[in-house]
Amino acid sequence: MKIVVGLGNPGEQYAKTRHNIGWLVVDRMADRAGWAGRGRTRDAAAVVQGRYRGLDLVLAKPLTYMNLSGTAVRKLLARERAPIGDILVVTDDFALPFGKMRFRESGSHGGHNGLASIIEEMGTEKFNRLRVGIGDPARGAVDHVLGRFEPSEQSRLDELLDAAADAVEAWARDGVSKAANRFNAFTLRPADETRLAPPGDVDGPPGPDGIRRTKTGWRRVLPSRDTDER
């Protein structure tokens, strides 16, 4: 039995925010397995479990707020009588660019309240985690993680969730080292400006005059020879 825990906050106001990308990955796994809507509440989490493509999986979303995530993790492990090596925590990470992923077998919480709670409850930093990049905050970290995805991110979010779900399945099937070899180098396709908001809308592509509307005003887009993602 493998246990996948997606970190997030309960409540509609948090449902589509960057901080809840762990929940979104778990939801994508449940959709693939045909388990959507079959979960139940237990052990301070929304839990669904079953057999998927030869894997026995428990998918869980703690219903505590982020800073109490460890309570749900401890209860899940106790109920399933599972070793801590059989758990994968999926979490957001603004130290990674949007769309990048990193598997780790251990490590500090790095300022993430959910990871800090799990480390405190379990008394160890040695548990598997999949960190999903949400990009560096341009302003305050709290506003960034609790904010919604920008249009350029939203247009690629499905692709990222699919890749993260593939990564979770690879971990459950082959272990963290092999999954890391495959997915730590994953790169999301660049944003396609033609698929974003129309010219004149916030964060849309520039109009014929080369001017683009942003959240902070109108800006002229200057040509650049460097097209790499920053």
Domain boundaries, the chain: 2-183, 196-230
Pick from 189, 192, 123: which is nearest to 162 by CA? 189
| DSSP H or E run through 5 | strand 2-6
The model's pLDDT over 122-161, given as tens digits with 9 standing for 90+, comes to 999 999 999 999 998 877 788 899 999 999 999 999 999 9
Catalytic, 19? Answer yes
User: What is the per-residue pLDDT for 50?
Assistant: 96
% pLDDT > 70, the chain? 84
Pick from 208, 98, 83: which is nearest to 147 by CA? 98
Q: Are 39 and 23 in contact (CB under 8 A)?
A: no
Residue 221, Cβ neighbours under 10 Å: how many? Answer: 13
Residue 176, Cβ neighbours under 10 Å: how many? Answer: 17
19, 109, 112, 144: the catalytic one is 19
Q: Are 193 and 208 in contact (CB under 8 A)?
A: no
The model's pLDDT over 115-125, given as tens digits with 9 standing for 90+, comes to 999 999 999 99
**Model confidence band, residue 195 (pLDDT cutoffs 50, 70, 90):** low
Single-letter residue type at 43: D
Task: Please tell me the distance from the alpha carbon of residue 33 to that of residue 40, in angstroms, as a whole number.
Answer: 16
The model's pLDDT over 21-66, given as tens digits with 9 standing for 90+, comes to 999 999 999 999 999 988 899 989 999 999 999 999 999 999 999 9
The DSSP-derived string for 44-92 is TEEEEEEEETTEEEEEEEE-S-GGGHHHHHHHHHHHHT--GGGEEEEEE
Q: Are 5 and 129 in contact (CB under 8 A)?
A: no
Say whether domain 2-183 belongs to CATH 3.40.50.1470.
Answer: yes
Residue 24's contacts (CB-CB under 8 Å, 6 or more residues apart) are: 6, 8, 157, 161
Could you give the strand order of the β-sheet that contains 128-133, starting from the edge strand earlier in sequence?
A: 40-42, 45-52, 55-62, 2-6, 87-93, 128-133, 101-104
For the cut 50, the answer to whether the pLDDT of residue 82 exceeds it is yes
For the cut 60, the answer to whether the pLDDT of residue 198 exceeds it is no
Task: Please tell me the distance from the alpha carbon of residue 3 to that of residue 134, in angstroms, as a whole number.
Answer: 23
Task: Please tell me the distance from the alpha carbon of residue 121 to that of residue 143, in angstroms, as a whole number.
Answer: 27
For the cut 70, the answer to whether the pLDDT of residue 222 exceeds it is no
